[in-house]
Chains A and B, each alone.
Chain A
Amino acid sequence: MSAQEPEVEEKQQWEEELARVGLVRRLLRARRWYGADWWFVAISGVMVLGFLIVAFLPGLFARYAPDQQVGPRFLAPGAHPAVPILVAASGSGLVNLEDLAVGPDAEVSRPKVAVVRGLPTAGALRERAQVIDDQLQVTGDLRLRPSIERYDTLDEALQAVADGDVVAAVVGSDLFDADAAKFPTLAAGNDITGEQAAAGGFLLGTNQIGQDLFSRLVWGTRVALLIGFASAGVALVAGVPLGLIAGYAGGKLDRLLTLLMDSLYAFPGLILAIAITAVLGPSILNVIVAIAVLYVPTYYRIVRGQTLSVKEDVYVEAAQSIGATSGSILRRYIYPNVIPSISIIFSVNIADAILTGAGLSFLGLGLPPNTADWGIDVARGQEFIQSAWWLVTFPGLAIMMVVLAFTMMGEGLTEILNPKLRDR
């Protein structure tokens, strides 16, 4: 008892001291409580939590479905998609398509609107004008029935507006932006489609088939975390009991298993996974199995090593002497001792598994080709790296952030659960 007294005193002093300092200081001192850099744990914890929320509720964050074509192809991050807009002489007051509506004598003076031959703007104009016309007929006596004049080139169409041959032109906003300098007297009006949905642009741009990259990344979180958790989990369920049994039983079984596991451990993981998925064929389940196989040895090695040292302890001997069965000794006396290491490996394994899974799908193996997966997105974007840098950059960044979160968590856990490493 006497040996414990100074420790108690020290603890009280420590608590008093803590009560005096502010919250920030207290957090800073947390380093000493856990023997870990609290910020490492805090940052990774927040990141992991964030990714989990995104994975469970992708609909909250993504505006579109991952395989839905929602915009033009290759739209740069933040850029606005091209929409048909109304172009008229500045000062004419024509901004919206509705402004072209005229009175009942419209039959004789239908407003002429220029479009460029061969572009979809003419169709959009006709459809939209019809919709507006129908609405106008209900409410009043104005009509909107523009007469569409077709020109061969954009310049001709715009020149016609500038010369007053036509009242306005309907052209793509991107085309007009590029050409506006040549026609200083013209001004861009509003989007004629009247839809504001795509007007906000796409945060991370669109890919080669017009899908929203950000939405794909959000949905891809699900696949990445599923592969990570499931394969690390399967490996844990297989590796831990094997390690416990081999370490406790020893003998021939132990030597055989160890040789097997060491060989498996030495084999380049990705290459084995490539082989397994190449034989099994593409499906997410096969990927999980292939990756899980790679990580069984990591659990096995650690658990076996700890079992070997723990089984020499006095309390295990005591349990043996009162006649406890091997099963209950493993379960009640040895297994609790290996839990801390398992949690560290689990976290690091999730990170590894996500990386390996991404590598597999980058190579075009494992996942079905239409999956919203980051590795697949990088692989597809590689083809367009010269023109569309965002297609490879952001999915890869997403992989890195998730892996970083789990690696840091493993790092933090190591320091909390394994105080021997504290001074390293």
Chain B
Amino acid sequence: MSPLALIFLIVGIPALAGLIYIFVRGSSGLRRFIITRIALTLPMVFILASLVFFVMHILPGDPITSALGPKGDPATIARIQDQLGLNDPLVVQYGRFLGDVVTLNFGDSLTGGHRPVLDEMSERFPATLELVIPAALLALILGIVGGALAASRRKRTTDYGLRIYSVVIYSIPIFWLGLMLQLIFGLKLGWFPISGRIDAVVSTGLHRVTNILLIDSILAWNWTAFRSVVWHLVLPTATLGLILSGVFVRLTRINVIETLQMDYIEAARARGIRERVVVYSHALRNALIPVVTLIGLQVAILLAGAVLTETVFSWPGMGQYLVQRISARDYTAVQSVITMFALMVAVISLAMDIVYSLVDPRVRY
């Protein structure tokens, strides 16, 4: 079974079950919200896919000719174009493309082993997941702690320091942060490895089930492998997580400050509850609600950051695959990976909105 199908089993089925549970048990308002939201996702997927089609097919520039170079044999070019149906009318191509997106039929890779692109992606997708999820968690933790700290020490040195932190971290090119971490912690101090997901020696002994190596090594009860995987994860996760954390610090801070001005906080203070409890327990909990939506919006930044982080750390994920395929001028693969990213964005933002509607009952259509 392909890793992608397994991940779907692990993540998708519980999610689906949860959705159905919420749907059946929830209020009618919630039901309506979920239906509308799902219905709105379809045009979004449609538009995103059309965008990809537009970029890949309608913009000037012929990918096949550029793949074979100016000296390419015209007969070969014609044959490949014919094979991919690039000579059909645009409308036909467009229809076929949309159909392929729906059925997840991405075709075969143009170069290399001519393997189905879906197989290639399903091998790499878990690697991206393994990088992106811990990074998002790190960013969230740093952001919430930092934001709450800044809000509770408003207009003091801590607050200004954190504000400068969030502006500076936003301005750092992510690939450069990765390289600097490599330079300091990988090469100078020698603490962490600077490329790959796992030591080659350990890797051969590890049976891959999901290709999420953290899970695989636990399943195999292989602690050497687990340690190696965690050690390899540190620098890429730190890179991606630190870059994202700036935005979360800002947003948490603003929301906590706004919440702290509310009457119920005043009431809590008047009852003599300690300030720390007021900030971290009373205010933070309500202030975090908008942060949940922000995660949805940050997915785009997260995925774009993942492309660069993977390139810096030779992390064999979707982003690295995309970059490799572009330099190999593999047109089918590039189009498929970008479509896949678009689908991911749509699905994650849908999931985030549903979570948000559960956390904040005021959000309904």
Contacts and interface: CB of A to CB of B under 8 A. Distances in A.
A267 B167 contact: no
Interface in B56-101: 56, 59-61, 63, 66
23 contacts: A263-B48, A264-B51, A268-B303, A268-B345, A269-B304, A275-B334, A279-B59, A280-B60, A280-B61, A355-B173, A359-B173, A362-B308, A363-B323, A378-B176, A378-B179, A385-B182, A392-B183, A396-B173, A397-B176, A403-B170, A403-B171, A408-B167, A424-B257
Nearest to B338: A275
Nearest to B63: A279
DSSP class of B's interface residues: helix, strand, loop or mixed? helix
A133 to B, nearest CB: 50
Contact of B56 (A263, A275, A375, A397): A275
A274 B322 contact: yes
A382 B179 contact: yes
A342 B101 CA distance: 37
Contact of B176 (A280, A399, A408): A399
B312 interface: yes
A313 interface: no
Nearest to A421: B254
A46 interface: no
B171 A263 contact: no
Contacts of B51: 263-264, 267, 272
A386 B173 contact: no
Contact of A275 (B55, B180, B301, B349): B55
B187 A268 contact: no
Contacts, number: 139
A269 B307 CA distance: 11
Contacts of B304: 268-271, 359
Contact of A281 (B61, B179, B334, B349): B61
Interface of B: 43-44, 47-48, 51-52, 55-56, 59-61, 63, 66, 167-168, 170-176, 179-180, 182-183, 187, 254, 257-258, 299-301, 303-304, 307-308, 311-312, 322-323, 326-327, 334, 338, 341-342, 345-346, 349
A393 B183 contact: yes
Report the interface size class on chain A. Answer: 35 or more
Interface in A236-267: 259-260, 262-267
Contacts of B349: 266
B43 A385 contact: no
B179 A263 contact: no
A278 interface: yes
Given A270-B308, A364-B327, A358 B44 contact: no
A280 B58 CA distance: 11
Given A268-B300, A359-B175, A407-B170, A275 B52 contact: yes
A355 B342 CA distance: 21
Given A275-B56, A359-B175, A363-B311, 7 more contacts: A262-B44, A267-B48, A271-B303, A358-B173, A359-B304, A392-B179, A403-B172
Residue among A265, A270, A275, A403 with the highest chain B CB neighbour number at 10 A? A275
Given A263-B44, A275-B338, A363-B308, A411 B303 contact: no
Contact of B183 (A385, A399, A407, A423): A385
Nearest to B327: A364
A270 B323 CA distance: 12
B173 A267 contact: no
B167 A411 contact: yes
